[in-house]
Amino acid sequence: MAHEVEREALARYLEDHHLKHTKQRDVILDVFLKAEGHITSDQLHQKIRSEHPGIGHTTIYRTMKLLCEAGLATERHFDDGVTRYEIEHEHHDHLVCTRCGKIIEFECQMIEATQEKIAARYGFRVLRHRHELYGHCKDCRED
Amino acid sequence: MAHEVEREALARYLEDHHLKHTKQRDVILDVFLKAEGHITSDQLHQKIRSEHPGIGHTTIYRTMKLLCEAGLATERHFDDGVTRYEIEHEHHDHLVCTRCGKIIEFECQMIEATQEKIAARYGFRVLRHRHELYGHCKDCRED
DNA sequence: ATAGATGCAAATGTTTTGCAGGAAA
DNA sequence: TTTCCTGCAAAACATTTGCATCTAT
């Protein structure tokens, strides 16, 4: 079984917080990681249902919230209003294709630095940011 | 009554599309403009209810959708999952205070240009973007 | 007169909560 | 055996839709 690092991180978090290590939590973490992020609660449920029909939607919501607290996942709200979960890692932004739904991550040092400068101008202290470019990807554009 | 330009823009749009000019639409446009954007459907409803108790939530949703189509408003989805409407104008980004909820708009030519460069790298054609910095504003930060 | 708008109530879709039974510590 | 989890059903939200009624054209 892959994802040993994350599984251990979860185990450690559960132990530290006197929470219980259940089969459901393992399954959900595993399916979430295999999906490589940007997945909705409902999509997770679909994927899980085939192998483990018992696991309910409620548990998925609760477990994803737990994974967020444990620092293994983050919630994202793109423009369609549905919550998506992605694998936690810092400083990256998204290109979203509005035709096929493809999501590409990118990172830009220069933009990060500029953000800080702008925030400082208004006396803001930035804790996190979101930066998304919506358009058509190379397979979907017509021009 | 202020907002003559926008009122006329609405009137023109309604006429062009064979839609009807109702009192409700005028009121909603007026309250929306007075609020200077970033307002939720529910907040609009609150503000309107005092003067015009008859106007229902449904009509506000429908009218805001209409104003978006008419190019007078735009929908925004910040990270709390509630739809906000803002006055339509291009190329600006947001600083959002997660303590007091204050929203400041900013604009940065350099970031815009960089976005294009990054998109090109992936063969993307950018149609719109969102860029939000979340943190604490000068009144709410503690350090 | 007629197409279109309104407001209520009911439906929808997503996420959360209450609770009784079940499993891990 | 105690504490925490789970899954169901029901609630809570924000938003949309069906429909009978009303209104601007």
pLDDT grade, residue B1 (50/70/90)? low
Residue-averaged pLDDT of chain B: 90
Residue A18 pLDDT > 90:
yes
CA of B4 to C1' of C6 (A): 25
Residue-averaged pLDDT of chain A: 90
pLDDT of residue A1: 56
Nearest nucleic acid nucleotide to A57, CA to C1' distance: D7
pLDDT of residue B67: 97
Over pLDDT 90: what percentage of chain B?
59
pLDDT of residue B76: 86
Is pLDDT larger for residue B28 or for residue B77?
Answer: B28
Is B99 in contact with A127 (CB distance < 8 Å)? no
What residue in A sits closest to B143 (Cα-Cα)? A125
Q: Flag if A79 and B130 touch (Cβ within 8 Å).
A: yes
C-alpha distances out from residue B108 to A26, B38, B118, B123, Å: 44, 20, 16, 23
Q: Residues B91-99: what's their mean pLDDT?
A: 84
Which protein residue's Cα is closest to nucleotide D13 at C1'?
Answer: B82
Q: Residues B66-95: what's their mean pLDDT?
A: 87
Strand pairing partners for B40?
B84
CA of B21 to C1' of D25 (A): 10
pLDDT of residue A68: 95
Residue B81 pLDDT > 80:
no
Which of B91, B118, B132, B128 is CA-nearest to residue A104? B118
What residue in B sits closest to A126 (Cα-Cα)? B135
CA of A83 to C1' of C14 (A): 9
Residue B119 pLDDT > 80:
yes
pLDDT per position as a tens digit, A49-104? 988 999 999 999 999 999 999 999 999 888 777 899 998 776 678 898 878 878 88
Report d(CA B8, CA A111) in Å as an integer: 39
Nearest Cβ partner for A134 among B79, B111, B127: B127
Q: Residues B17-39: what's their mean pLDDT?
A: 94
Q: Flag if A118 and B133 touch (Cβ within 8 Å).
A: yes
Q: Residues B6-13: what's their mean pLDDT?
A: 94
On whether any CB of chain A is under 8 Å from the CB of B125, the answer is: yes
What residue in A sits closest to B119 (Cα-Cα)? A95
The full set of domains in chain A, from first to last, is 4-87 (1.10.10.10), 93-135 (3.30.1490.190)
Q: Flag if A130 and B126 touch (Cβ within 8 Å).
A: no
On whether any CB of chain B is under 8 Å from the CB of A136, the answer is: yes
Is pLDDT larger for residue B103 or for residue A124?
Answer: A124
Q: Side by side, which strands form the sheet with B125-136?
A: A103-106, A93-97, A125-136, B125-136, B93-97, B103-106
Q: Residues A43-49: what's their mean pLDDT?
A: 94
Over pLDDT 90: what percentage of chain A?
55
